[in-house]
Chain A
């Protein structure tokens, strides 16, 4: 703990309440959008939703501009950087718990719900009364309700994607060490490679979805197997997208000459986030694809 420095408490700022307005518009717009879509009505829902997203993007630009200006002016002391690092770690922990909810759903469905529907444990009558024809199996390609689909194998695209994401984590790490050792060429090169790998991952993930929808008939609504598959890979994909955007911003900032070997919290946070996304993918690859 630093005794002598004073902690930087920013003056009042318009950005937080603009952010709150943006989130409010997104929540309102998203609810009306899904309601109108399900009722097949036209309406203003999506307009409000996109307005909200616009407000959030505007807020992020403004807030981070202030933040970067303060940092380059040297207002951020060691203690404040510690605050940022701790906050980022706890944010990542909250993300872990978000994914845990969906991994938990996958576990429960596979180990408990589907087995019970098949008559396991003391549920013989559940099977007998509800769907006597149903036999428990996983991946659940024939649901009790009669939906049929095909499972996604782990070889091919998913395995290639795993390798791509693993390599990108390594290149991200080398970009970070390059920054810390003042090797700017290594930094820009490795960061660029990481971004490209991230984009390839996203492209292949999209190709996999097309393959699943068009050739396998595996869709979001084809039973609990499709549900967990798309929710887990989909939310992971959203996180990769966000991570890639963050990496691109870091790349632009590096080109502008930002960051020093010992003052680069934003880069560090992005790098942590990227490693986190990678770890989630590894868990996901094992329990969604392989097992």
Chain B
């Protein structure tokens, strides 16, 4: 092993940015790859959003209005897949790429070439998935969960495209997660002990573990779908001794940790932003870490709460009900800590803080409706209604997506070197937070009254509530164009120049480097007090 590495050797190709398209295609730079991930996720956010607009337009009135039921099913399915695998997860990976090396004082991600590979798989995967919408028989129409036998017997050709695109998305996620874990465990600046790491790094470390543990299980599940559909196996067919319910067990063993994969990094973001704008240290740092780990471990024990109505022994129903409710405890610890951080702080309400505050309140609403759903007998009433749709959109839109927007506003000055347009950003916030509640809150009532999800038509008594919902939906969709405008203005370097630390109360290594962050940071590790 050569221990004395010639430092000058590296500098030769390190002090300049490569130019042209090749910079983006062949890059090994964590900031470039982070930028690619973030732009990709923004594009997918609008693609998935367009599908949501189709859904809301169809549901504006009872009866079939605009699209065929089969196309409606494709829209609900692909909307879900695009938002989960194309928008939310890549956005978090983009944030991890940009921020983690800077937060822990590392020169780059641990495995820079694999990092590039992880990203570039995604455009290919989504070309296949979205391309299947234009194939003869259409795209996947069995719901993003791809339950058998819908996917195995009624999926048509779309099942194959779905399975293989999910396979390569999974490969991308696993490689991305391995990169994050290794970066965090092996690349921290000297003195940066685990319990000194920013919460965002902690939450991503645990998220990455969840990804590596469950993405392969999804790969196994969809492989069984593939062989059931095309190679005559009967994993999910009772005539051959299998069971369609078995698919749901395997899928949700992936699916529930996946839910936390999409929220734990949010917790990290909010834990960075609230202390910055409350000008106080995060309350209960170590309890935050343990709560995150507890949520992650419990996430492996609750999967069947998605399938209370599909047939299980009573013992299992009770087990999964209680385990699910226990998750409220570590989650409550987090909410308490955020509120306690703000207690007697000197609060200011810049846009990142506004989104973080909206996150705390609205995510908690989603958490409470989750508790309602966790109660087995109550779930018999709520299952597969719009109540469920309301619940998971509160945790995913006002939860995950709002935290991503908070992160974007918080770190945009660091990424671009320019302050975003504060007026426009506040317009974006208020339009979003009002319209998102008009969009999702009435869904609770529609669901409690019995309106089933994933159906293009509904009984006439649901007409008013659906009209309100659709108006909220269009408003929320249009509001996001304001966000796009703000981001593009920043990317075009319009506006005020940002200081290296634009937020008075912000802490962390990322604020010790200039804005925009230089192409290479911390080639020599910084000092940790």
Q: Which residues of A contact B (CB under 8 A)?
A: 1, 3, 5-17, 19-21, 23-24, 26-28, 30-32, 34-35, 37-38, 63, 74-79, 81-84, 86-87, 90-91, 93-95, 97-102, 104-105, 108-109, 112-114, 116-117, 121-122, 130, 140, 143-145, 147, 220-227, 231, 260, 262-263
Choose from A24, A28, A224 the contact partner of B241 (Cβ within 8 Å).
A224
Total number of residue pairs linking A and B with CB closer than 8 Å: 262
What are 15 A-B pairs at a CB distance below 8 A? Answer: A11-B13, A20-B117, A24-B124, A27-B125, A31-B157, A34-B230, A77-B3, A83-B182, A87-B110, A90-B212, A101-B224, A105-B220, A117-B238, A117-B241, A263-B1
A222 to B125 CA separation, bound complex (whole angstroms)? 33
Chain B 1-50 interface residues, beta-carbon cutoff 8 Å to A: 1-5, 7, 9-10, 13-14, 18, 22-23, 25-29
A220 to B167 CA separation, bound complex (whole angstroms)? 22
Cβ–Cβ < 8 Å partners of B250 in chain A: 101, 104-105, 108
Q: Are A27 and B235 in contact (CB under 8 A)?
A: no
Q: Are A102 and B220 in contact (CB under 8 A)?
A: yes
Cβ–Cβ < 8 Å partners of B160 in chain A: 30-32, 34-35
**Shortest CB–CB separation between residue A117 and chain B, in angstroms?**
6
A160 to B436 CA separation, bound complex (whole angstroms)? 64
Q: Digitize B120-133: 1 where CB-to-A-CB distance is under 8 Å, 0 elsewhere.
A: 11011101100000
Cβ–Cβ < 8 Å partners of A37 in chain B: 230
**Shortest CB–CB separation between residue A78 and chain B, in angstroms?**
6
Q: Which residues of B contact A (CB under 8 A)?
A: 1-5, 7, 9-10, 13-14, 18, 22-23, 25-29, 106-108, 110-117, 119-121, 123-125, 127-128, 157, 160-161, 163-165, 167-168, 171, 174, 177-179, 181-182, 185-188, 190, 212-217, 219-221, 223-224, 226-227, 229-235, 238-243, 245-246, 249-250, 253, 313, 520, 523-525
- Nearest residue in B to A219 (C-beta to C-beta)? B232
Q: Are B232 and A221 in contact (CB under 8 A)?
A: yes
Cβ–Cβ < 8 Å partners of A23 in chain B: 121, 124, 168, 171
Q: Are B186 and A8 in contact (CB under 8 A)?
A: no
Cβ–Cβ < 8 Å partners of A98 in chain B: 216-217, 219-220
A210 to B438 CA separation, bound complex (whole angstroms)? 63
- Nearest residue in A to B228 (C-beta to C-beta)? A227
Cβ–Cβ < 8 Å partners of B108 in chain A: 7, 9
**Shortest CB–CB separation between residue A280 and chain B, in angstroms?**
13
Q: Are A224 and B226 in contact (CB under 8 A)?
A: no
Q: Are B120 and A20 in contact (CB under 8 A)?
A: yes
Cβ–Cβ < 8 Å partners of B221 in chain A: 101
Choose from B214, B241, B253 the contact partner of A104 (Cβ within 8 Å).
B253
**Shortest CB–CB separation between residue A25 and chain B, in angstroms?**
8
Q: A-B pairs with the 5 shortest C-beta distances?
A: A101-B220, A24-B124, A221-B232, A145-B239, A74-B2
Cβ–Cβ < 8 Å partners of A20 in chain B: 117, 119-121, 123-124
Choose from B215, B231, B246 the contact partner of A221 (Cβ within 8 Å).
B231
